[in-house]
Amino acid sequence: MRRKDLIGNDLMEGAVEIYERVIGIEASKGSKSLFPKENFRHDFQKGARLYGLADGSILIRSKDGRRLWEEFEYDIEEEK
């Protein structure tokens, strides 16, 4: 899916708001991650909403279009 589709109104067509406020999510990293199978919790500030999309998937999106996460770089030394 193109980035334009992810942030455009086409994706939101037929969307139904399920939750007005998403507090956070808990997830486990995949086996190919730098942190395989570790669990993480991501808390959101006010404004994160959960939508059900026409294809049956869900979307967490900010109410005002701002980013819900901060970009960061991992500080991990490579094994030699």
Q: Which residue has the higher pLDDT, 31 or 72?
A: 31
Task: Count CA atoms within 13 Å of residue 70 on its CB side.
Answer: 6
pLDDT at 1: 42
Residue 16 corresponds to which tokens in the numbers above?
């139904």
CB burial string 9-45: b at 16+ within 10 A, e below: eebeeebeeeeeebeeeeeeeeeeeeeeeeeeeeebe
Condensed to tens digits (0 to 9), the pLDDT of residues 19-61 reads 999 999 999 988 888 888 899 998 988 889 999 998 899 999 9
pLDDT at 76 over 70: no
CA distances from 51 to 25, 40, 67 (A): 14, 22, 16
pLDDT at 5 over 50: no
Question: Per-domain residue ranges for the chain?
Answer: 3-62
Tell me, yes or no, if the pTM score tops 0.75.
Answer: no
What is the distance, to the nearest Å, from the Cα of residue 20 to the centroid of all Cα atoms in its chain?
A: 15
